[in-house]
Amino acid sequence: MSEASVVVHADQEVLAQAVAARLVVALIDAQAARGEASVVLTGGRIASAVYRAIGALPARDAVDWRRVDVWWGDERFLPRGHPDRNETQARAALLDQLPLDPARVRAMPAADGPAGPDPEQAAATYATELAAARSGTAALPHFDVLMLGVGEDGHVASVFPDHPVAHETQPVSFVRDSPKPPPVRITLTLPTINTAEQVWLVAAGADKAEAVRKALAGAGTVPAADVRGVRRTLWLLDRPAAA
């Protein structure tokens, strides 16, 4: 049964440091239990702050980064290396500093990548990659921790309120008309997100408070309300977002 909890930190800086420490511990624990670990990354300001905080932690070296699988929850469908891509931001903030196995860093396809300029084909390509990494009879790989930012409208990944993607059942979907720029995106769907052992929803700032309130109240029109990890759903907030 999934356990849900809320942890509030004083401000955005403390929140980023706390999430960083929590993630390092989660990866260490996963490797102790399974021999490897997997994380699904998110984008945005607070995510970049978390990644920078991990880079500054001495304890990061306790993780065997060669045995960590890195996935993304969503991506802006832009050319590789574009500064607005979540992958680009994560690499600059942290990933390029770590001794990761390049084969285990699974970025979503770029608009100028081998999958071509069609976001539908790019989503199908990422779904195929997910399926290839599964073990046993599972339909998807094991995700130890899946991190999500929360938008002002309550969206998570690129699953937006009142958008058909919120009802998509395929593992990966594409969005051509995102209400938040850029308009074309690739995203894990809610059923895929909810296969993770732990889902962490990280939000900072007073502009997120109303979305957090709606989600915790179970408002059905807010995608964040429909997110739950298999074992744990954890809300990690700063005080303004928790107001």
Residue 147: the pLDDT is 98
User: pLDDT per residue over 113-159, tens digit each?
Assistant: 998 999 999 999 999 999 999 988 899 999 999 999 999 999 999 99
How confident is residue 1, by pLDDT bands cut at 50, 70 and 90? low
Residue 120 domain flag: yes
The whole-number pLDDT of residue 220 equals 74
pTM reported for the whole predicted model: 0.96
Question: Quick check: 111 pLDDT over 80?
Answer: yes
pLDDT of 75 strictly over 60? yes
Asked whether 4 and 226 are in contact (CB, 8 A), the reply is no
- Does residue 103 sit within a domain? yes
pLDDT, tens digit (0-9, with 9 covering 90-100), for 182-199: 999 999 999 999 999 999
Query: Which residue is listed with tokens 């690129």?
Result: 158
In a domain, 231, yes or no: yes
Our count of domains for the chain comes to 1
* Residue 134 is assigned to a structural domain of this protein: yes
* 44 within some domain: yes
Q: Which residues of 62-79 are buried (b: 16+ CB within 10 A; e: fewer)?
A: ebebebbbbbbbbbbbbe
- Residue 17 reports pLDDT greater than 80: yes
Look at residue 192 and tell me if it is in a domain: yes
For residue 157, is it within any domain?
yes
Average pLDDT over residues 52-73: 98
Average pLDDT, stretch 75-84?
98
Structure tokens at 94: 């942290």
Q: Does residue 243 fall inside a structural domain?
A: no
Give me the CATH number covering residue 38. Answer: 3.40.50.1360
- Quick: pLDDT tens for 160-190: 999 999 999 999 999 999 999 999 999 999 9
Domain residues for the domain of 10 are 3-238
